[in-house]
Every structure is written in structure tokens, then in C-alpha cells.
Amino acid sequence: MLNIVLFGPPGAGKGTQSQKLITHYNLVHLSTGDLLRAQIAQGTELGLTAKKLMDEGLLVPDSVVIGMIDSALSTNPTASGFIFDGFPRTVAQAQSLDDLLARHEATIGCMIALEVVEEELVARLLERGKTSNRPDDQNEEKIRRRVHVYNTETAQVASYYAAQNKFHSLNGIGEIDEIFEQITQLIDKAC
Ligand code: ADP
């Protein structure tokens, strides 16, 4: 099994690169943001609660996203591996992910972080907000709050994987295909 955590701030390009990686390596894409937006679209109670937090640029509770990942792992028993996108976002989530994978006799191969400076992130997300219909992409203050939440609550997840010698990072600014090429070289060498 090839299990990869794609890491980086909102707007770093995780979703874009995930799409290319799942085709290249035949993996299942697990984006907690996408799973939460699906709950919102279905109008579930979980979705209603999550929407308020997401629209404000805040994290939803660990128990919610961990539960979603738990069921996604169980509904894909034959997967040859997973790309985790937007998860784990806290150290507690990272610990739970290790526990969940252990139950399936699997581990994370590596974390790959895309580095992008804040001004570029804000510009990208405002641009995406013009067509994405995502309320959290349409207001600069909310975008900056998401970047702030990343810096204060999520960035430390990198240390969790660094302590296991699984952390790798690369520049997320440049041509999409060139960045993809660098990611695959890193995966083939180090994951
Ligand atoms: P982005 O990376 O552009 O912020 P995502 O789709 O990954 O977009 O996430 C959108 C929102 O969904 C986050 O701001 C947060 O409110 C919520 N969310 C997604 N994943 C998680 C997670 N693992 N833990 C807590 N909240 C999450």
C-alpha cells in the first residue's frame, strides 16, 4: 500500500496535485474538505454544523473528520493506497490516522508539503472564489483566517511526521506539471 499525506496551506495546490497523483499511482483520494462539502450538499446534521465553522475559516472538530476518514478507509478495502488531502490538520488527527491505518495493517509512507507564501495563497483563493461557489474563498479576511489557522494549528503536524523521518517539502509555486514531476520523483525515491 502507498499512503501519502499531501500537506500545505489552503490554496497550496493539494487538490490539483491529488487529482494527478491518484491517476498516476492508482490511489484513492480522501479529501476531508470534499467529504464535508458532500455532507453539506446532502443537508445532513453533520453538514449543517460543519458549514458554520467552514464558512468562518475555522476547523471542524477532530472527532468529526476522524469518523469520516475511518468510514472511508473501511469502504475502500481493496484500495492500493490513499492520498490524504487536508487531513490530518491537527496532531490529534495525525495520531488517530496512525491508529486507524494500523488496524488495516498499513502506515503512512510519507508526507509531502507544498510551500507557498501567504500573498500567493490569498491571490489564488480569491481567484478560485470567483468560480468555486465556496463561501470560504470569497472574502479576504476569511482566507487570511484560514492561513492563520494553518500556521497556528496545522503546521505542527509537519513535526509529527518529521519525527518519523517521513516529512518532505518542495516549492509549490511554478508550473503544475513541473511540481507534479518533482512530487513523483520524491515519492518514487522516499515514500
Ligand atoms: P482548503 O485547504 O482550501 O482550506 P479544504 O477543502 O481542505 O480547503 O477545507 C475547507 C474547510 O473544511 C477548512 O477550512 C475546515 O473548516 C474544514 N476542514 C477540512 N478538513 C479538515 C480537517 N482535517 N480538520 C478540521 N477541519 C477541516
Specify the pLDDT at position 114: 98
Letter string b/e over residues 31-44, b meaning 16 or more CB atoms within 10 A of that residue's CB:
bbbebbbebbeeee
pLDDT at 150: 98
Q: Which atom of ligand 1 is nearest to the CA of 11?
A: 3
What are the structural domains, with CATH classification, of the chain? 2-185 (3.40.50.300)
Which pLDDT band, with edges at 50, 70 and 90, does 64 fall under? very high
At residue 152 the predicted structure's pLDDT band, cuts being 50, 70 and 90, is very high
The overall average pLDDT reported for the chain is: 97
Question: For ligand 1, is residue 57 a contact (CB within 6 Å)?
Answer: yes
- Closest to 93 measured CA to CA, from 154, 20, 4: 154
User: Distance between CA 127 and CA 66 in Å, rounded?
Assistant: 30
Q: Give residue 24's pLDDT.
A: 98
For the segment 182-189, the average pLDDT, to the nearest whole number, is 98
Residue 38 pLDDT grade (very low, low, confident, very high; cuts 50, 70, 90): very high
Q: Whose CA is nearest to atom 6 of ligand 1?
A: 33
Q: What is the pLDDT of residues 159-175, one digit of tens each?
A: 999 999 999 999 999 99
Q: What is the pLDDT of residues 110-139, one digit of tens each?
A: 999 999 999 999 999 999 999 998 999 999
Tell me which residue of 137, 175, 126 sits closest to 37, measured CA to CA: 137
Residues with a known catalytic role = 14, 89, 128, 134, 146
What is the Å distance from ligand 1's center to 174 Cα?
A: 24
- When pLDDT is averaged across residues 25-49 and rounded to a whole number, the result is 97
Residue 155 pLDDT grade (very low, low, confident, very high; cuts 50, 70, 90): very high
Decide whether any atom of ligand 1 lies within 6 Å of the 8 Cβ: no
